[in-house]
Chains A and B, each alone.
Chain A
Amino acid sequence: MHVEHHQTDILILGTGGAGLFAALHAKQANPDLNVTLAVKGLLGKCGCTRMVQGGYNVALAAGDSIERHFMDSIEGGKWLPRQDLAWRLVTGAVERIRELENEVGCFFDRNPDGTLHQKAFAGQTFDRTVHKGDLTGIEIINRLMEQVLALDVDKLEEHRAIELVPAADGSGLAGVLLIDMRTGVYRFVQARAVLLATGGGPTMYRYHTPSGDKSCDGLAMALRLGLALRDMEMVQFHPTGLLGGPDTRMTGTVLEEGLRGAGGYLLNGAQERFMANYDPKGERATRDIVSRAIYAEMRAGRTTPMGGIYISMGHLGRDKVAKSFPGMVKRCADCGFDLAGGLVEVVPTAHYLMGGVEFEVDCSTAIPGLFAAGEDCGGVHGANRLGGNGVANSTVFGGIAGDSMAAFIAAGAPLRDPDKSVIDAGIARAERPFALKPGDLHGLRDRLSDTMWDDVGILRDATGLARGTEKLADHRAELAETGLSGSSRAFNLTWHDWLNLDSLLTASEVITASAQAREDSRGAHFREDFPETGNLDSTRYTRVRGDGAGRLTIDTVPVDFSIVRPGETILKDAATAAQ
Chain B
Amino acid sequence: MSDTVQTPTAEPGGSGIKTLEVQIWRGGAEGAFETFSVPRRDNQTVLDVVTEVQRHHVPDLAYRFACRVGVCGSCAMTVNGTPRWTCRTHVGKVAGDGKLSIAPLRNLPVIRDLVTDMGEFFDKWTKAGGKFTGTRSRAEPMAEVDPTSRARRNADAGIECINCAVCYSACDVVSWDKDYLGPAALNRAWTLLNDSRHAAQNETLAAATAHGGCGSCHTQGSCMRACPVGISPTRSIAGIKRMSLLDFLGMRRS
Contact = CB atoms under 8 A, between A and B. Distances in A.
Physical contact A–B (CB less than 8 Å): yes
Interface of A: 41-43, 45-47, 50-51, 95-99, 101-105, 107, 109-116, 132-133, 135, 137-139, 142-143, 146-147, 149-150, 182, 211-213, 244-245, 247-250, 253-254, 330-331, 333-336, 338, 442, 484-486, 488, 490-495
Nearest to B51: A249
Nearest to A113: B144
Nearest to A306: B43
12 contacts: A98-B136, A102-B136, A102-B137, A105-B134, A213-B66, A248-B45, A336-B42, A336-B43, A488-B60, A490-B60, A491-B115, A493-B60
**Most chain A beta-carbon contacts within 10 A, residue among B43, B90, B143:** B43
B159 A334 contact: no
Q: Is chain B's binding surface mostly helix, strand, loop or mixed?
A: loop
Contacts of B66: 41, 45-47, 50, 211-213
B67 A105 contact: no
By secondary structure, the A interface counts as: loop
A105 B72 contact: no
Given A98-B140, A102-B137, A146-B125, A138 B60 contact: no
B54 interface: yes
A248 B44 contact: yes
A529 to B, nearest CB: 36
B36 interface: no
A254 B135 CA distance: 37
Given A139-B159, A491-B111, A486 B71 contact: no
A293 to B, nearest CB: 25
Contacts of B251: none
Contacts of B11: 336
Interface in B122-180: 122, 125-126, 130-148, 152, 155, 159-163
Interface string B60-99: 1111111111111110000000000001111011000000
Given A110-B147, A249-B45, A250-B45, A484 B59 contact: yes
Chain B, interface size category, equals: 35 or more
A519 B135 CA distance: 53
B54 to A, nearest CB: 6
Contacts of A101: 142-143, 197
A442 B55 contact: yes
B249 interface: no
Contacts, number: 216
Contacts of B67: 46, 50-51, 211-212
A182 B132 CA distance: 31
Contact of B145 (A103, A110, A182): A110
Contact of A248 (B41, B126, B155, B162): B41
Contacts of A109: 147
Nearest to A130: B142
Nearest to A150: B131
Given A50-B72, A102-B137, A335-B88, 5 more contacts: A103-B134, A103-B137, A253-B68, A253-B69, A336-B11
A494 B139 contact: no
B138 A102 contact: yes
B214 interface: no
A146 B62 CA distance: 27
A114 B62 contact: no
Contact of A334 (B70, B133, B138): B70
A334 B136 contact: no
A25 B74 CA distance: 27
Contact of B74 (A41, A149, A442): A41
Contacts of A211: 66-68, 72
Contact of A142 (B118, B133, B163): B163
A247 B61 CA distance: 18
B74 A46 contact: yes
B142 A116 contact: yes
A334 B90 CA distance: 6
A247 B39 CA distance: 11
Contacts of A250: 43, 45, 48, 68-69, 87
A111 B147 contact: yes
A45 B73 contact: yes
A133 B157 CA distance: 12
B65 A249 contact: yes
Contacts of B155: 107
Contacts of B59: 484-486, 492-494
A255 to B, nearest CB: 10
A45 B148 contact: no
A137 B71 contact: yes
